[in-house]
Amino acid sequence: MGRKNLFKLVTTLTAIGVISAACPVYAEDTAASYISSETGETDDSLDGTSGSAENSSDAAENNTAKYNTVTSADNGVENISSENTGTSENGTSSEEDSGEKAGDNTVTDASNESVEAEIVGTDSVSGSSETANATEESSEEKREETEEKEEKDIALEIPVVSYAAHVQQKGWPAEDAVSGTDAQTYAGFTGKHLRVEAIRACIKGDQNLGITYRTYVQRKGWTDWQNDGAAAGTTGQSLRVEAIVMKLTGADAEKYDLYYRVHVQSFGWLAWAKNGETAGTTNLSRRVEAFEVALVKKEEAAPARSASRNIPYLTVPTVTYQTHVQKYGWSLGEVSNGATGGTTGQGLRMEALQIHLGNTTGFTGGISYCSHIQRAGWEKEWKADGVMTGTVGKRLRLEAIRIRLTGEMANCFDVYYRTHIQKFGWSGWASNGADCGSSGYGYRMEAIEIRVVPKGSGTPGSTANAFWKYVNPHAGMDAIAQGYSSSTGYLLMVDRSAHRTGVYTGSRNNWQNQKYWLCSNGKASTPTITGVYRLGIKGLYFWSGNTKCWYYSQISGDYLFHSVIYDGSSSPVRILDGTLGAATSHGCVRLALENAKYIYDNVPYGTTVVIYN
């Protein structure tokens, strides 16, 4: 109990007669002591220089009992003697028990040795060796109490941050968390998949220190700065906080460092941010689930905490790429994040490409890619992180590309890309290693655009026609053709089941398809013959009843290549039956007029004809 409070208590008790009746001398001396203290004078009786609590005389024990049972107005018991007990300069212990009577001035111990001590007008009390030991113990207890009080006083001088989170389904908490370097305290929840929607914070314990902060909110971006307990974020809108920034204000801001960190969906606790740095994520569509704050003296380390990432802030990596273009080389420079690399409308081929990622701190992995090159096809090995794909100085066009992310990048992000292809224009968007461009057509890639986006956030545009691949419809016929010979350099092939006719040039095992046409062959009752034949006689047309068939070339006997059926006019103008791609003829192979004419005009007599299936 402080001196002023004690003085008030004693004065009150004196006024009502409690102390004056029991111990009038003590009441007078106590009042005098506090008056002396108020004027700045030293009063030893209140600073621990009074007599011992233990005295060998019965009178002293009786008086001590009196002092220790004084009852206050609210029925509480105040141990007055312990408030005023201490060690005198000469090592002996004294207490305010000057005797049973106010007039008694001294008490002599067993050794008849006495020491005088001033107790506001009364003489000192001499103590025995037993009394001295008790004094030492009492002194030690008082010293420990004093040190504990000093430590508490110092602790109250260190400011703290009080902070809270408005959490999905929970609202604001009943009590705010308080910053500290030892106890791990945070606002929000971990492991419950609940979003933080707003935060608040204030400084306690230092009027010259304040705090300001803001949050990055889903769909809204950064909020305005808020100060000293105001909310930053939203409530009632079901919007997540994704990142926070905090910093100190006021005259004492330079004395401290403010550390803060966040627990983020999918990533867990990130590392500590400090004094205005960003903590959390942006553009990743990840919620903050909890946050923690620590205020420490300047240049002291942040609290030791485990974290799943070694940085406080995560965002979408930057993808940068450069194209090597016919006539320009690498001179067009690097572009990033969806910008066009290469050219359009100039008829220039891309020949090589380099791709790399930036701003990847906190994530493992990278980016890799491979290209489809003129005459060479797809590269056998993937290139990565800035290494060139394609060729330089060989005048070979890129025709298609594959791009993918690797490592943790692939788990957190999607890569999208599209290409500008000769004759086709811009392709649809491909992603994560899929083919983009064309193959089999011999068309050049002219430009490219690449984007990296958070996993599952959706495509930048249409994915239709991301890749044009020429599928060889006559691959099966090509393979069969290689086993035949022909004396003319031409080979005719007919697939009855597919209703297709092919024209080849070359030689055995080296036939190249030149034409591949729909045809109609014999129906079930009048099927087209199968086998190997030699092309025979040719004619401009023949009559079939009242109809004409134009540009016929003989397969064998009455089996012919000829046009679809026209009327009997002098020229092929009006078609009576133009069916193709079906089994409808009387055994001949019907073709479109221009295709029948091609054989009539170009394929020599004696050419091998193969009919199968």
Q: What is the pLDDT of residue 29?
A: 35
Cα 87 from Cα 505, distance rounded (Å)? 123
Q: Do residues 50 and 16 both lie within one domain?
A: yes
Sequence-separated (6 or more) residues with CB below 8 Å from residue 193: 265, 289
Same domain, 164 and 302: yes
Considering the domain architecture, whether residues 418 and 548 belong to the same structural domain is answered as no
Q: Are residues 504 and 398 in the same domain?
A: no
**Shared domain check, 68 and 94:** yes
Query: Do 169 and 304 share a structural domain?
Result: yes
Domain boundary among 154, 175, 204: 154
How far apart CA 391 and CA 384 sit, in angstroms, is: 15
Could you give the number of structural domains in the chain? Answer: 4
Beta strand spans in 273-380 (E): 273-274, 279-282, 288-297, 313-315, 318-325, 334-336, 341-342, 350-358, 367-373, 377-378
Residue 291 sits in the same domain as residue 328: no
Burial tier of 177 (Cβ tally within 10 Å: 0-12, 13-18, 19+): buried
pLDDT score of 579: 97
CB atoms within 10 A of CB 213: 24
How far apart are the C-alpha atoms of 223 and 214, rounded to whole Å? 6
Q: How many CB atoms lie within 10 A of CB 69?
A: 12
Separation between Cα atoms, residue 506 and residue 516, nearest integer Å: 16
Spatial CA neighbour of 63 closest among 2, 137, 119: 119
Q: How far apart are CA 519 and CA 555, in angstroms?
A: 15
The whole-number pLDDT of residue 25 equals 32
Give pLDDT tens digits for 215-251: 999 999 999 999 999 999 999 999 999 999 999 999 9
Global pTM exceeds 0.85: no
- CATH number for 603: 2.40.440.10
Q: Are 440 and 471 in contact (CB under 8 A)?
A: yes
Burial per residue of 564-587, b for 16 or more beta-carbon CB atoms within 10 angstroms, e otherwise: bbbeeeeebeeeeeeeeeebbbeb
Which residues lie closer than 8 Å to 267 by C-beta, 6 or more apart?
A: 281, 286, 308, 309, 314
Between CA 318 and CA 195 the distance in angstroms is: 27
The predicted structure's pLDDT at residue 222: 98
Q: How many CB atoms lie within 10 A of CB 420?
A: 21
pLDDT for the residue numbered 38: 33
Last residue of a domain, one of 88, 123, 154: 154
Instruction: Tell me what percent of the chain is helix, strand and coil, each rounded to the nearest 5.
Output: 15, 35, 45
Same structural domain, 511 and 441? no
- Full residue range of the structural domain in which residue 137 is found: 3-154
DSSP code for 77: B
Q: What is the pLDDT of residue 183?
A: 77
- Copy the structure tokens of residue 527: 């099927």
List the one residue out of 211, 243, 300, 313 whose CA is nearest residue 272. 313
List the chain residues with pLDDT less than 50: 1-132, 149-156
Polymer length in residues for the chain? 613
Looking at the structure, tell me whether residues 249 and 329 fall in a common domain.
no
Q: Where does a domain end: 104, 130, 154?
A: 154
Let me know whether 165 and 252 are in one domain: yes
Tokens of 84: 């005023």
Return the SS3 of 188: strand
- DSSP β-ladder status, 313-315 and 279-282: parallel
Check whether residue 28 and residue 111 sit in a common domain.
Answer: yes
- Looking at the structure, do residues 270 and 283 belong to the same domain, yes or no? yes
